[in-house]
Amino acid sequence: MDLLKPLIALLAIVNPIGVVPFFIHFTQSFSREQRRRTIRISAFSAFVVIAVSALAGLKIIEFFGISIASFQVGGGTLLLISALSMLNAQPAESKPSDVSEGDEKVDAGASIAVVPLTIPLLTGPATISTMVIYAERTRHWWELAVLVGYGVVVGLVTFAAFSASGRIARWLGRTGINVMTRLMGLILAALAVEIMADGLTKLFPVLAMRLGT
């Protein structure tokens, strides 16, 4: 397994810089300590989602009797949809109702570190699908450990991006963040097509035969 592709895919999907405007919006009334706590919880939660998906995601889909090839096609389609959203400068995991849902949770006094910042803005179905697909390709325990380690990398990147949210917003501006989101979306679209093609050739071997001729 190419161990670099999962990290590229994760960074493209999670895209913490693209979520910075949402972080600023949700925490604008927070004190410095509350903001720091939100950053720590969001970064750790992102790691937990990725690690659990890598370690247990495959067993869960096996429990439901879903083949990995079908999951690849479905997960790849989901990644492609996420990529298209990112090409429109929207976070990969965002939904139109996310902002209002987050506002309701803030008004209710609940923490927004996990919902909606971590789930679904940072990590969601596309992230989980990616980890399950790449976990299935591992052949040694250390490869699985590397995938979990990538969760640590994503958590650290998230921590750094949110900690520097004020400077990032000033340096890049809304236009710069949109450009970054579109660039990550383009990378993600290419990875999504590759994953879908791999799943389709497993489901329909005749496709592989025709492509090989």
In DSSP notation, 35-74 reads: HHHHHHHHHHHHHHHHHHHHHHHHHHHHHTT--HHHHHHH
Question: How far, in Å, CA of 123 to CA of 135, rounded?
Answer: 17
pLDDT tens figures, 167-198: 888 888 888 888 877 887 888 788 888 888 88
In this prediction the pTM is 0.72
For the chain of 213 residues, list the mean pLDDT of each consecutive stretch of 10: 84 88 81 90 94 91 85 84 80 52 40 79 84 89 94 96 89 83 83 85 77 57
Angle at 157 between CA 58 and CA 193, to 5 degrees: 50
Res 111: pLDDT: 67
For residues 151 and 54, is the Cβ–Cβ distance under 8 A?
yes
Tokens of 173: 């501006």
